[in-house]
Structure 1
Amino acid sequence: MTAKKGTVTEFIIGGVAACGAGCFTNPLEVVKTRMQLQGELKARGEYAIFYRNSLHAIYTITKTDGILALQSGLVPALWYQFFMNGVRLGIYQVLVNSGWTTNSNGQISVPLSIVAGATAGCIGAAVGSPFYMVKTHLQSQAADEIAVGHQHKHKGMGHAFSQIYRSYGPLGLWRGVQAAIARVMVGSAAQLSTFSVAKYHVTHWAVGIHS
């Protein structure tokens, strides 16, 4: 029972921690999304430039759509963080706790850590992908005078899921998941393996000093 509770805790703590960070980074995600969509499928000089740079984008969004628009898509963004990072960090920690990332000498194995990180990232990205897509749809929605890219006109997360499901079926909720998996796998493999190796050496260094 204790092991089972510990496993669940790994998933929950990882997800909640990521949600805390998501609250602060979401405005930058809104700015990034709109700047990426600006001039979509149009040649240079054939579209209006509403966002000249990040600071100008923040000013423009706040002035036109209101300051709360900087938190557009926050709800699906937090669910994405909770599920993607909760699963990603949870699975990786379970693998670490089970000894899967250590070699026969009990030392941290870089190759095994990379594989574990990539595996955890793959599963996390697949689970969180629908929330990421809805987040992007909502973040791109803007007043007509500064709208860029296709405007989906969703009324919220629930309405977005409903509209996507009706238009494209259940698999439509996972559009772009292949790219998401590739991105998170690489990032997760690098991030988590580096963290594990650094933690291992720092821990043994600290033990050596106090022994």
Structure 2
Amino acid sequence: MDYLIGGLAGVGAGFFSNPFDVIKTRMQLQGELKARGQHAIHYKNVVHAVYAVVKADGLTALQKGIVPALWFQLVVNGTRLGIYQTADNRGLIRNEKGATSVSKSIFYGALAGAAGALVGSPFLLIKTQLMSYSHISIAVGYQHGHNSTFKALKQIYNKQGLKGLWRGSVSTMLRNSIGSSSQIVTFSRLVRSEHRKPKL
């Protein structure tokens, strides 16, 4: 149940944050492999980027990559929160007095985050490729015109094997392990401190 609830919570957050991820990806790719002053400026700032994307590709373009993005959230958060809760249920993050150990909590939070990122990495790859796919007037970098998430996974696997599906996974694992350990530890400490407060 922890896997499911954690995953669905991530899906909800991912749906509303996806447009910002689209804009971030487009702006990061702007001027890719070009010297300063030798590339077109399609996106001047965040607001202008939203305008440019909607004008060229329509309002729905702000949700490009939403399917793999939601799969990524489901898998990553379901895995990391499920692993952490399982460790907690088995007493692996507690000291001999039964209190939460900060060091153990950080370790299992980081481990859970890395595991989630490893499992979800192929979806992150497809999400990024779909987010960067745009009308030729504002296109930057190589354009991946995937028809669907699972066709894209199959196509990459056929061309590059399993290694191709997990490109960039190590950096994603490092990022998620740091974020997960800090988020989970802080949240678990706050929740436990609230539970210890005397009721009025």
Question: Could you tell me which of 24, 47, 50 is aligned with 1:32?
Answer: 24
Structure 2 residue matching 1:92: 3-state secondary structure = helix
**Alpha-carbon distance, 1:198 to partner:** 1.4
Using the size of structure 1 for normalisation, the TM-score is: 0.92
Instruction: Give the match for residue 3 of structure 1.
Output: none
Q: Secondary structure at the match of 1:144?
A: coil
The residue that corresponds to 1:14 in the other structure is 6
Query: SS at the partner of 2:137?
Result: helix
Q: For the residues of structure 1 that align with 2:151 and 2:93, how far apart are their CA atoms?
A: 42
In 2, the alpha carbon distance for the partners of 1:40 and 1:149 equals: 6
Note the aligned Cα RMSD (angstroms): 1.0
Alignment match, 2:78:
86
In 1, the alpha carbon distance for the partners of 2:46 and 2:92 equals 43
In structure 1, stretches of 5+ residues that fail to align are 1-8
Q: For residue 194 of structure 2, what is the aligned residue in structure 1?
A: 202
**Which residue number in structure 2 is paired with residue 57 of structure 1?**
49
The amino acid that maps onto 1:13 is: I
**1:180 matches 2:172:** yes
Which has the higher mean CA deviation after the structures are superposed, 164-173 or 63-72?
164-173
Aligned length: 200
1:165 equivalent in structure 2: 157
Q: Which runs of 5+ in 2 are unaligned?
A: none
Identity of paired residues, percent? Answer: 50
Q: Deviations over 1:2-53 (max 9, x none)?
A: xxxxxxx000010011101111011111001110000111111000010111
Alignment partners' CA distance in 2, 1:111 and 1:130 = 30
Report the Cα distance in structure 2 between the residues aligned to 1:99 and 1:159, rounded to whole angstroms.
Answer: 42
Of Structure 1 and Structure 2, the greater helix share is in 1
Where do residues 3-152 of structure 1 align in structure 2 (5 Å cutoff)? 9-152=1-144
